[in-house]
């Protein structure tokens, strides 16, 4: 084996730690000295090649720096004499056969033997492939601004943050919380889209679990390879529709990792009790199927019953081991997003953020737009809304908005029909009507009647510009994932709106998929509009001291609070009422003065306070619906007392037992205090060493 040279200090240190024989040390030191004198950077030895017995399994192997080999690691000091990352242990792994961590090169037999199954991507790679992948990554230093974030340094910033996460998790979350507005776009959208596109090249340290079609029949045992006895939150994806970037296969796990970073930073979820998951059922991305360095299964996606069986097995496995876990589905293609949501939502504690979270944020924004137009919220059912996009996000928003309108109108059959008539849905084929052939069943309730649109001068398949011009909507809502869809002509048509202050919601992610930019909207329509987007944009200077406010309608406002509220209430399921309570809480968060300025969403810098209030609203609704079963010391009966505003309740914080105190506060304040006391904060613990 070719072994990098060792400095004497490193050799001495490792001989003590590894209890190597003095004769072996002397022989290796002699060989190293001779090689150095000859001007050689390495020497060859066959000493010590024998079967190695490990006393570690699973993540203990993958995460212990003693077992970390360069093949998947990168950025390490091969000479054993120190590095910028503080690693001096690398070289000894090569010559003493302690380089146990082979990364993605572990065979399936070894993965089963060492409890590694599910902890690594399913595609077994050779060491040559690992080197090729690493070298390809080194060459990919320039960010293509057209395909990724507008800031060419974004990917470099992600790498730096990711390395900090690997070295010091506490410091990582301290930084993220302190600079959440600045770094949320780096760890999540829009930068995470670029990360997912390049994840096979960026992969260094395994994070999360991988359940693949090749693991059928094994998942119930695989789930025990994860070392944590308690997991509170799982974010799972199948990689089929990552943001607006399409099928990225196993590389989509980056979206689950980024999402959980926000659960920790925004909701105070304990990072030791969260789990990102990839369900790898193949990919239909031909580019990935032909890429020898792709980490996932290189076969076409499962579909139909085979697909459902894989997801069923996964859900049964994780809820068997962790009965109280919450599972958030993320970036599943539309045809499965709704089916899986309906299949599981009344059985398990789960929700789909693309469908329900996006809908909640959109509802909050729409209600905020009503306030910004100077109208009472009860006028919401009168708003005319044109929706561009009929995917999972678009249909999710439509269903939620219709339910909200119907509830305001009395929640009867007439109310639902009246609410339905306020929406015009346009997809890639134009306006959706009852004449549409092979219409998506989820879009059918919103298909316009031919007689209705005939009176408006419209027909099946009418263009977005035609629809906007004829309908004169109060709101133009984009969830199409088509960048630039709101063209100058479409925005010009919005000048015909019957509203004195129309709202434009360009909600598609990532940035390049936004239907329009705030500059485009304000330049065409002037300052008297309300603008919101899914990705972050800067406010627009309109001159004369006027500012065009750009509101980011980020799902981050809601999903942390929904998850935390569900956890702390112990709710058996996540109901529509709990989601509605979250949306209404967000809609009411802004002051009247802020809303009249066109500010309908708060700054991300307030996210922990926002999450606290949203979680409290979710808990309150869960209690009122009799779904709450309690959390730890706070059982269902104590939660009921809390909701009734009973004074002198004893609230216990499992994170800090000394903080127990008698509270004599209002109902809302009591619940918010309960939430606050259960939000994890990144602090260094006091450590004490105890000998066995």
Instruction: List the catalytic residues.
Output: 188, 259
Three-state DSSP state, 222: helix
Nearest alpha carbon to residue 244 among 356, 394, 113, 379: 394
Query: CB atoms < 10 A from the CB of 53, how many?
Result: 5
What is the token pair recorded at 313? 């097995």
What is the separation of C-alpha 44 from the centre of its chain, rounded to a whole number of angstroms?
A: 46
**Kind of pairing between the strands at 2-4 and 42-44:** antiparallel
| CA dist., res. 258 & res. 208, Å (int) | 11
Tokens of 71: 């093949």
Are 283 and 123 in contact, with CB atoms under 8 Å apart? no
285 is known to lie in a ligand binding site: no
- Joined together, the tokens standing for residue 18 give 């590894």
Q: Where are the beta strands (DSSP E) in 95-223?
A: 209-212
On whether the CB atoms of residues 471 and 384 are closer than 8 A, the answer is yes
- Residues contacting residue 394 through CB under 8 Å, at least 6 positions apart: 387, 388, 425, 479, 480
Q: By the 8 A CB rule, do 388 and 479 touch?
A: yes
Query: Quick one: tokens of 434?
Result: 């009852």
What is the largest distance, in Å, between two alpha-carbon atoms of the chain? 96
Please state at what angle helix 304-321 crosses helix 334-344, rounded to 10 degrees. 50
CA distance 466 to 634: 56
Which alpha helices (H) appear in 355-471, and where do they start and end? Answer: 358-372, 392-408, 413-420, 450-455, 464-471
Pair 516, 486: CB distance under 8 Å: yes
CB 226 within 8 Å of CB 206: no
**330 appears as a binding residue in the annotation:** yes
Confirm or deny that 554 is annotated as ligand binding: yes
Query: Distance of CA 193 to CAs 129, 253, 510, Å?
Result: 24, 11, 7
Question: Residue 596 is inside which H or E element, if any?
Answer: helix 592-596
User: In 3-state terms, the chain is what percent helix, strand and coil (to 5)?
Assistant: 50, 10, 40
Phi, psi (deg, nearest 5) at residue 328: -105, 120
Q: Are 101 and 95 in contact (CB under 8 A)?
A: no
- CA dist 387 and 424 (Å) reads 6
- Pair of tokens at residue 556: 């981050």
Per-residue tokens: 330: 């993320």
The candidate with the shortest Cα–Cα distance to 562, out of 510, 509, 621, is 621
Least Cα distance to 80 among 59, 99, 60, 105 occurs for: 99
Rg (Cα) of the chain, in Å, rounded?
28
Q: Are 12 and 90 in contact (CB under 8 A)?
A: no
Measured between alpha carbons, how far is 230 from 541 in angstroms, rounded to an integer? Answer: 49
Phi and psi at residue 616, to the nearest 5°: -60, -40
Report whether 442 belongs to an annotated binding site.
no
Half-sphere exposure of 593 (CA within 13 A, CB side): 0
CA dihedral 581→587→589→594, nearest 10 degrees, is: -170
Alpha-carbon gap, residue 151 to 115, rounded angstroms: 41
Contact indicator for 471, 424 with CB cutoff of 8 Å: yes
Known binding-site residues for (S)-malate equal 241, 509, 554
Known binding-site residues equal 241, 330-331, 354, 509, 554
Known binding-site residues for a divalent metal cation equal 330-331, 354
């Amino acid at each position: 084996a070719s072994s990098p040279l060792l400095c004497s200090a490193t050799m001495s240190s490792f001989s003590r730690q590894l209890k190597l024989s003095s004769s072996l040390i002397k022989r290796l030191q002699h060989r190293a000295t001779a090689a150095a004198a000859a001007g050689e950077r390495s020497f060859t030895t066959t000493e010590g090649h024998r079967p190695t017995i490990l006393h570690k399994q699973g993540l203990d192997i993958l995460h212990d720096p003693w077992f970390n080999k360069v093949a998947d690691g990168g950025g390490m000091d091969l000479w054993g004499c120190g590095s910028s990352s503080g690693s001096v242990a690398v070289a000894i792994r090569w010559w003493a056969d302690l380089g146990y961590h082979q990364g993605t090169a572990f065979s399936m037999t070894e993965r089963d033997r060492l409890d590694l199954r599910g902890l690594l991507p399913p595609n077994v790679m050779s060491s040559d492939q690992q080197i090729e992948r690493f070298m390809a990554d080194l060459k990919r230093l320039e960010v293509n601004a057209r395909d990724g974030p507008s800031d060419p340094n974004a990917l470099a910033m992600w790498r730096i943050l990711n390395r900090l996460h690997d070295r010091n998790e506490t410091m990582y979350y301290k930084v993220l919380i302190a600079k959440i507005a600045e770094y949320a776009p780096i760890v999540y959208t829009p930068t995470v889209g670029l990360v997912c596109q390049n994840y096979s090249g960026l992969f260094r340290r395994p994070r999360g679990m991988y359940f693949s079609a090749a693991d059928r029949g094994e998942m119930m045992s695989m789930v025990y390879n994860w070392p944590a006895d308690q997991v509170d939150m799982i974010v799972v994806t199948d990689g089929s529709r990552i943001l607006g970037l399409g099928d990225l296969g196993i590389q989509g796990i980056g979206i689950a990792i980024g999402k959980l970073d926000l659960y920790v930073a925004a909701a105070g979820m304990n990072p030791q009790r969260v789990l990102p998951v990839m369900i790898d059922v193949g990919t239909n991305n031909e580019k990935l199927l032909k890429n020898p360095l792709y980490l996932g299964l290189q076969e076409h996606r499962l579909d139909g019953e085979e697909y459902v069986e894989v997801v069923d097995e996964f859900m049964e496995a994780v809820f068997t081991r962790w009965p109280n876990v919450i599972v958030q589905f993320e970036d599943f293609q539309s045809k499965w997003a709704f089916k899986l949501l309906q299949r599981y939502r009344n059985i398990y504690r789960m929700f789909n953020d693309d469908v329900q979270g996006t809908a909640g944020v959109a509802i909050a924004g729409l209600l905020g737009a009503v306030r910004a137009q100077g109208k009472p919220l009860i006028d919401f059912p009168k708003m005319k809304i044109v929706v561009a996009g009929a995917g999972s996000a678009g249909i999710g928003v439509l269903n939620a908005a219709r339910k909200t309108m119907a509830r305001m109108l009395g929640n009867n059959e007439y109310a639902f029909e009246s609410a339905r008539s306020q929406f015009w849905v346009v997809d890639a084929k134009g306006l959706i009507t009852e004449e549409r052939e092979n219409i998506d069943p989820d879009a059918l309730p919103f298909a316009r009647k031919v007689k209705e649109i005939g009176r408006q001068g419209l027909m099946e398949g009418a263009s977005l510009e035609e629809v906007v011009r004829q309908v004169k909507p109060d709101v133009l809502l984009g969830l199409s994932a088509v960048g630039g869809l709101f063209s100058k002509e479409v925005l010009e048509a919005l000048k015909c709106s019957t509203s004195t202050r129309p709202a434009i919601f360009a909600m598609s992610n990532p940035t390049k998929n936004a239907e329009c930019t705030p500059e485009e909207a304000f330049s065409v329509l002037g300052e008297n509009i309300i603008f919101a987007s899914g990705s972050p944009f800067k406010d627009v200077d309109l001159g004369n001291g006027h500012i065009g406010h750009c509101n980011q309608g980020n799902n981050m406002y809601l999903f942390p609070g929904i998850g935390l509220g569900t956890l702390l209430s112990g709710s058996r399921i996540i109901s529509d009422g709990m989601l509605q309570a979250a949306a209404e809480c967000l809609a009411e968060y802004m002051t009247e003065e802020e809303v009249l300025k066109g500010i309908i969403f708060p700054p991300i810098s307030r996210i922990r306070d926002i999450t606290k209030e949203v979680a409290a609203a979710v808990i309150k609704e869960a209690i009122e619906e009799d779904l709450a079963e309690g959390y730890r010391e706070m059982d269902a009966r104590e939660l009921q007392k809390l909701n009734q505003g009973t004074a002198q309740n004893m609230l216990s914080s499992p994170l800090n037992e000394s903080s127990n105190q008698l509270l004599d506060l209002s109902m809302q304040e009591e619940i918010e205090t309960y939430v606050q006391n259960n939000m994890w904060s990144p602090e260094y613990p006091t450590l004490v060493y105890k000998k066995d």
